[in-house]
Amino acid sequence: MPHVENKKKALTFQELLFTLQRFWAEHGCVLQQPYDLEVGAGTMSPDTFLRVLGPKPISIAYAQPSRRPADGRYGENPNRLFRHTQLQVILKPPPERVQELYLESLVAIGIDLKEHDIKFEEDNWEWPVGGAWGVGWQVMLDGQEITQFTYFQQCGGMDLDPISGEITYGLERIAQFLQDLDSIYDIVWSRDPMTGTELTYGDVRLHEEQQFSAYSFDYADVDKLWEHLRLYEAECLLLLERAKTVLTEENDDALAVKRFPVMGAYELALKCSHTFNLLDARGAISVTERVGVMARIRTLIVGVAKIYAEQQRLTSLVAA
Amino acid sequence: MADFLLEIGLEEVPARMIAGAQAELLRRTLALLEREQLEGVDAVSYSTPRRLAVLVRGVREQQADITEEVTGPAVKIAFKDGVATPAAEAFARKSGVAVADLRTITTPKGEYLAATSVKKGRSAAEVLASELPKEIAGIYWAKNMYWRPGKPERFVRPVLWIVCLLGDAVVPLTFAGKTAGRASYGHRVLSSGEPFEIVAPESYLAQLEGEYVIADVEARRQKIRKALDHVTRAVEAARWREDEELVDSVTHLTEWPAVLLGGFEPAYLELPEEVLVTVMRDHQKYFAVEDAQGKLAPHFLAVLNIALDETNEPIIKQGNERVLRARFNDARFFWEFDQRTPLTERVKLLENVTFQKDLGSYATKSERVRSLAAQLAKIASSRGAAVDASAVDEAATLAKTDLTTELVKEFTELQGVIGGLYAKAQGASATVADAIYDQYLPASAKDSIPRSAEGALLGLADRIDTISGMFALGMEPTGSKDPFALRRAANSVVRILAESGLPLTLADVLGAAQSKPEVAAKLQAFFAERIEFYLREGRGQAYDVVKAVVAAGSEDLRDAVARAEAVTAVRGGEDFIAVSAAFKRMKNILDQAQAKGESIPASVNTSLLSDDSEKALESTGGRVAGDVEALRAKRQYREALTQVASLRPVVNEFFERVMVMAPEADIRANRLALLARTVADFSRIADFSEIVAQG
């Protein structure tokens, strides 16, 4: 089969990330750092999940390493990862012609739109545990899904107004596409401008894939994981309970309202979610249990979303 | 008269929703024009993923004025001493005339004011601008969204622009914050991306084509089909695998379609064709290519939304081939990985897979299905069917084990099929493997039923277990809600019973399930509906024929089908129509008599028969009933019904000469008994009183 030489002009993995971040910064986005807790998707970072709630506009972009223990393959599958990297862009509210803006970002990373087949195919997003859903598309580039594009409609079981536009780039897939490679591990991560020495994705990350796959499939201690889950859950529930007395209109201690650790409660809920994913990968959750545990985590995450919205409302009342 | 154009520009609309919305927009626009007496000469509609459009030719530009005579207040209230009161003034104002133009009319109630009110017709532009937005807002979407702050409206996707023209003038309607103009947009990539102006409705299609958009759906579909044919010619003796649904889907995903031929390494052809086709079709929307023998060839066809040239073709081809290769690699990995644990070892893994929380795991379900399948196999064998009972048992044991495989987790739509393929690869007999493979057939009305008796038995046992289990939990379908697709499962049970040739009745199947009496009653009613549905929709039988046949019993589906077909064949005959009418009359008389509390003896006393015609009905009727019964036993329903129709002169004569409700109680009772016997004798094939005379 004839091979097309377009590798030379292709961006390295890190250049791809810079370029997209610069693009969105130039279009008014705040660049945030990745969230420093295990999450299954960029959506779960508070910079998305909590910021889409309430009336306050925001444009924000960040790379988010996303862990999905069950997707680990010990580094042996060229297309699947325990941890992949998303570039998450939240536009609240989304500007007019946001799709055109997105396409411009593709041009910025070296994709000549006339040289490819691009389609926006229906793909609606749903995260039942977060009481969240939206409608949108998967963006297909020459048959490869490279981006999820979602208009958030609900979060934490609450209707959103204004809604947010969410653009999630799958960075490994895009890099693999740009560099025309069959394996993620062959992606050129960096190229030393002095020596031309290249480091691949495998050089940088393969050992993580091997070890975390082994941890989540073979080593993770099931009893201890259940115990972790129980402890995180208990503390989160305690905070949710205390929120009932602190986050009220009757409470005239504005500082106490402002300082109430909703974010702390959210982190505990995220810990539960990740622990659940580990248990699931370990094969420790029967399908029957699954429904029950998911309902427990939903209580936490939706509960946090509700107190977050309430805290925002109360602090804006004080400000006004 | 002027031509009218409406184009709604949208962010990409889901392909599955476009055709319905296009038709609805046309329907709503035409209904509005008709309601407002502005109807045009003819109309067409267009769509692409990014637009819905309607073009109506020859729309009236102005509504006619409406002149109406209206009656107002009584003269004595309207005028006091010759001077108009506020009542007169109000009436004049309301009617749009001056007080001086009011007239007086005389009615039986006295003298009243009257006026000739003229309602000025509105211009089409005015009507459309005010009314059309409501029609647009009313379009049904399976899933829609808010996008503007304050959530003023929901629609399938954000509206980007609206073009609305009457003749060459803009109709400035407003919807979703967009005011219509004449600016439209072309293809996202191929056009300049800048808006361009639609000159007039008539030039819409040609102007869009100039911007790389084929708005006519049929033209796009034909372009795709031709390109598929053309491109496939590059492969010797090959053809693309026809797939109407996929053609439809890609038609609604493109504005300027082109077809690309790609290839994959022939080594992948070692994977089951079912897996390869599912990857290509369902995951990548590619058409499969086959050789002259219908065998899969190592090629695929992708329908693109771009014009191909020498520069981009190799790039796009390479991209699509790489994606497919990755998918095939995954499938091959799963195929090989799964084989390490044969299905027989997976039986115990089913204990960890929940079927339904109150109905246990798939392991317990499989045990129930085994037992049900064994019972049904035994009944079928006892009636002479050739059934391999041990194959049925083996298939039922392994049927659900593929749920634990990686390949089914990846391609859930292939459950059953994968199990059958693994069973075959792992040395199960063809009978067992095929039964597993076919267990979910028919999944839709288009599917065929399982190929073998063993597959049919497995399919029946699996479904009746699910249906009776769900009913026992009170989870039966209600109204439009059927979350567990039990109606579809029941439809499949009915079809298998009617079409598989297995000598089984619905009673056998429901009996095997051993439901509690109250659940059994619900199941009976539920299946009665499905049977009528099958006879109507699956067999094309008329509503009244179905009612008539089902009234005579539908436990034996194959028999019910044969009876329905026989009734349909003879129902047009004059004799049959007359006899049906007579039966209806007999039934009415009997119903009324019963309602009045008349006694109806169980047998006819011939000594009480006096008139020749009633003697004839008794004797000829009895003889014909014997003949009909003999034919019925041989399932010669056409012949039996011809016999029934031959009763026409006898029943006609009877009703002409005899008054059933005679004054003498004993004669009356005896005649009712004769009618009851006649109705009973002749209602075993169908209840003819249900047949509606066709006019």
Q: With an 8 Å Cβ cutoff, is B364 touching chain A?
A: no
**Separation in Å, CA of B303 to nearest CA in chain A:** 9
Residues, chain A: 320
Domain ranges of chain B: 2-62+123-210, 66-119, 217-339, 354-554, 571-690
CA distance A57 to A47: 12
Q: What is the pLDDT of residue A287?
A: 60
From the list A94, A100, A144, the residue facing B319 with the nearest CB is A144
pLDDT in tens, B334-376: 999 899 999 999 999 998 787 887 888 899 999 999 999 999 9
Do residues B183 and B208 make contact, with C-beta atoms less than 8 angstroms apart? no
Instruction: Tell me if the bond preceding A93 is cis, omega within 30° of 0.
Output: yes
CA distance B506 to B512: 10
- Name the β-bridge partners of A141: A118, A144
Chain-chain contact of B315 with A161 (C-beta, under 8 angstroms): no
ipTM: 0.94
- Name the β-bridge partners of A59: A91
Q: With an 8 Å Cβ cutoff, is A196 touching chain B?
A: no
Chain-chain contact of B352 with A286 (C-beta, under 8 angstroms): yes
| C-alpha distance across the termini of chain B, in Å | 42
Maximal CA-CA distance, chain A: 73
- With CA atoms as reference, the chain B residue closest to A291 would be B357
- With CA atoms as reference, the chain A residue closest to B301 would be A143
| Residues of B whose CB is below 8 A from A3 | 318
Q: With an 8 Å Cβ cutoff, is B314 touching chain A?
A: yes
What is the architecture, at CATH level 2, of domain A220-319?
Up-down Bundle (1.20)
pLDDT in tens, B513-530: 988 999 999 999 999 999
pLDDT in tens, B393-405: 999 999 999 999 9
- Domain A13-216: state its class: alpha beta
Residue contacts between A and B (CB atoms, under 8 Å): 122
**Separation in Å, CA of B363 to nearest CA in chain A:** 13
Examine the pLDDT at B188 and tell me if it is beyond 60: yes
Q: With an 8 Å Cβ cutoff, is B540 touching chain A?
A: no
Q: What is the pLDDT of residue B387?
A: 96
From the list B158, B193, B305, the residue facing A117 with the nearest CB is B305
CATH assignment of B2-62+123-210?
A: 3.30.70
pLDDT in tens, B14-62: 999 999 999 999 999 999 999 999 999 999 999 999 999 999 999 999 9
Confidence of residue B689 (pLDDT cuts 50, 70, 90): confident
From the list B144, B149, B316, the residue facing A142 with the nearest CB is B316
**Residue B93 — left, alpha, or beta (φ > 0 → left; ψ -120 to 50 → alpha)?**
alpha
- With CA atoms as reference, the chain B residue closest to A57 would be B149
- Name the β-bridge partners of A223: none
Sign of the alpha-carbon dihedral angle for B278, B279, B285, B287: negative
Chain-chain contact of B322 with A180 (C-beta, under 8 angstroms): yes
Segment among A119-133, B105-119, B530-544 with least mean pLDDT: B105-119
What average pLDDT does the segment B496-514 reach? 93
Mean residue pLDDT of chain B comes to 93
What average pLDDT does the segment A89-117 reach? 96
Distance of alpha carbon B689 from the chain centroid: 30
Give B556's DSSP letter.
Answer: S
Chain-chain contact of A144 with B284 (C-beta, under 8 angstroms): no
Q: What is the pLDDT of residue B401?
A: 96
**Separation in Å, CA of B500 to nearest CA in chain A:** 35
Would you say the pTM of this structure is higher than 0.90?
A: no
From the list A3, A142, A151, the residue facing B320 with the nearest CB is A142
Specify the DSSP element, H or E, that contains A85. strand A83-92
Distance of alpha carbon B417 from the chain centroid: 26
- Rg of the Cα trace of chain A? 21
- Burial label for A8, CB within 10 Å (0-12, 13-18, 19+), is exposed
**Separation in Å, CA of B533 to nearest CA in chain A:** 33
Confidence of residue A2 (pLDDT cuts 50, 70, 90): very low
Structure tokens at A253: 């201690």
Nearest to B135 by CA among B220, B256, B254, B54: B54
Q: With an 8 Å Cβ cutoff, is A284 touching chain B?
A: no
**Separation in Å, CA of B323 to nearest CA in chain A:** 6
Domain ranges of chain A: 13-216, 220-319
Examine the pLDDT at A173 and tell me if it is beyond 90: yes
From the list A97, A143, A163, the residue facing B319 with the nearest CB is A143
Task: Please work out, in degrees rounded to the nearest 5, the angle formed at the alpha carbon of residue A33 by the alpha carbons of A32 and A36.
Answer: 130
Q: With an 8 Å Cβ cutoff, is B330 touching chain A?
A: yes
CA distance B689 to B586: 9
Domain B354-554 has CATH 1.10.8: no
Q: What is the pLDDT of residue A1?
A: 40
Do residues B397 and B373 make contact, with C-beta atoms less than 8 angstroms apart? no
Chain-chain contact of B353 with A116 (C-beta, under 8 angstroms): no
> How would DSSP label each residue in A38-60?
--SSGGGSHHHHTTTSSS--EEE
pLDDT in tens, B646-683: 999 999 999 999 888 988 989 999 999 999 999 988 88
Substitution target in A3, A135, A172, A184 with the highest count of B β-carbons within 10 Å is: A135
Coil/strand/helix, residue B515:
coil
How many CA atoms lie less than 13 Å away from B208 in the CB half-sphere?
A: 25
Nearest to B11 by CA among A135, A234, A133, A8: A135
Q: What is the pLDDT of residue A288?
A: 58
What average pLDDT does the segment B159-171 reach? 97
